[in-house]
Amino acid sequence: MTDLKTWDVENDQFWQTTGKQVANRNLWISIPSLLCGFAVWLYWGIISVQMLNLGFPIPKAELFTLTAIAGLTGATLRIPSSFFIRIAGGRNTIFFTTALLMIPAIGTGFALQSIDTPLWVFQLLAFLSGIGGGNFASSMSNISFFFPKRQQGLALGLNAGLGNAGVTTMQILVPLVMTFGVFGGEPMILENTSGTLIGKIPAGSETWIHNAGFVWLLLLIPLALAGWFGMNNIRTEAVSPNIGSPAGAFGKISGMLAVGFLTAAAGLYIILPQPVGLGAPDWAKWPVIGGILLGTVLLLKLIPGEIKPNLQRQFRIFSNKHTWIMSVIYTMTFGSFIGFSAGFALAIKVVFGYQHVMVDGALTHDIVNPDGPSALMYAWMGPFIGALIRPVGGWIADKVGGALVTGIVAIVMIASSLGVAYYLKLAYSSATPQEFFIPFLLLFLVLFAATGIGNGSTFRTIAMVFDKEQAGPALGWTSAVAAYGAFVIPQVFGEQIKAATPEMALYGFALFYAGCLVLNWWYYLGPKAEFRNP
């Protein structure tokens, strides 16, 4: 059952008699495995807020580098992960990469048991959490091979959308499990007010923050077993013809992940502030990210043995201009979704959790706002909507065309970004910023919903533009480029908050969305479109 030697889902008879059942079984094991990947990747956004509330002796600026480290590493690991399926097989890949998530989850649980754990330990664990971000590329590539093109919008939308729900699951589950000692250990005492989905938690309350790591083992262990015993490798020429033994497949995956870790570490060292890194100027992140992308691809090409010719065949996607066009467009949708998911809680806390008042002729932002909203109460809403609606975007795109849906989404994202910018500006100059929180929240939720629908529609376009062999690697590569949003967007927010102009971040995003609208029209929708979609 583990290896499928015949696989022809475009043949309707094969699909109805054999393919459909097998494909759905693989999909429904893939979805929760990907959900856990997203949760472990991005749980530092919640953990770092709670570390701040507990008074961990780590400067605020350095504490929030944890989210950036996990974000950039996860995006980089998507590059090698894009090519795992042909080299190692789908079943082998999903089992092994899901099992690897146990390492940062266990490490995080132990590290959070002491307030004296040094910063470098948390940074190392955030670095390893990037494995969860990389899993998206291999998971999406794998599922694309199981379904016929006419159903890929919905199938990929379900895998990605419910997988993306790992962000929301984490944002709800982590604050909840920190309120009781389910895994034992000594509690810590809150110095500042915290919160959960159902309300605020006052200072002085007991908190078991280490549960934020241990809780994921309850899902990861059974999911790894389900992947091993319930999923399949497709051994056809177009998918995974020569994967070798499982042990050999795990070795190849490990070696390729090591390349991604190496380039991510080099990039982080240049970008992150001292004493963590060199502290390069803010503008340096753009050429550094480009260097990481290029360096990772070049190093992968140097891997000796059977991996090299296999990768060269998959690297044909880089000579196709639509790989680069779709990378930009998908950055608009998924890059925004994952970046806003990573930075939403912090944006709420920094903008609405403090009063912005004039002191000695200067506007200050350090006075705690007792009436401010709890970031942990609201941060889950945007990612929840964006993830839940993604399969709907794929389903609509299957019916009316991916490019049309993407174009409408771009217009909505431009308008909602400008609206969020307007209320951010008002809130960040007010002594009572909570007055502007409701319109800010509602417009941000619209923005999240648009990213979710666009995530589904762009993947539908990719399935139509690329042939069967190239579609999987193309899906993985575009998701890798877009995932840098998890690093860039919190960084840009941080830069503009430091400059006291948070609205400028949203103005910049709106300008980028306008460019994507033009690209989508020119190549896939307008009168000179190269692929009519529709």
* Contact (CB, 8 A) for 290 and 267: no
Given a cut of 90, is residue 212 above it in pLDDT? yes
Q: Which of 244-253, 290-299, 359-368 is predicted least confidently?
A: 359-368
Bridge partners (DSSP) listed for residue 3: 233
Q: What's the token pair of residue 15?
A: 């699909």
Confidence (pLDDT) at 339 = 87
Work out the average pLDDT over 437-450: 96
Q: Which of 10-19, 250-259, 464-473, 503-512 is predicted least confidently?
A: 464-473
Given a cut of 70, is residue 200 above it in pLDDT? yes
Given a cut of 90, is residue 191 above it in pLDDT? no
Model confidence at 534, pLDDT cuts 50, 70, 90, reads: low
- CB-hemisphere CA count at 13 Å for 14? 12
Q: What's the token pair of residue 333?
A: 């949708």
Alpha helices in 82-118 (DSSP H): 84-88, 90-100, 102-111
Tell me the pLDDT tens digit for each residue of 239-248: 888 898 999 9
Alpha-carbon distance of 406 to 257, in angstroms, equals 32
* Contact (CB, 8 A) for 267 and 65: no
Tell me the pLDDT tens digit for each residue of 50-89: 898 898 988 776 777 888 899 899 999 999 998 899 899 9
Confidence (pLDDT) at 519 = 94
37, 59, 153, 471, 530 from 464: Cα distances, Å: 27, 49, 10, 9, 12
Q: What is the widest separation between alpha-carbon atoms in the chain?
A: 78
- The rounded mean pLDDT for the chain is 89
SS3 label, residue 194? strand
Alpha-carbon distance of 257 to 265, in angstroms, equals 12
Instruction: Give the torsion sign (CA, 358, 363, 366, 370).
Output: positive
The angle subtended at Cα 277 by Cα 273 and Cα 279, nearest 5°, is 40
The angle subtended at Cα 62 by Cα 60 and Cα 66, nearest 5°, is 110
In this structure, the number of other CB atoms found within 10 A of the CB of residue 244 comes to 14
In this structure, the number of other CB atoms found within 10 A of the CB of residue 176 comes to 16
Percent of the chain with pLDDT over 70: 99
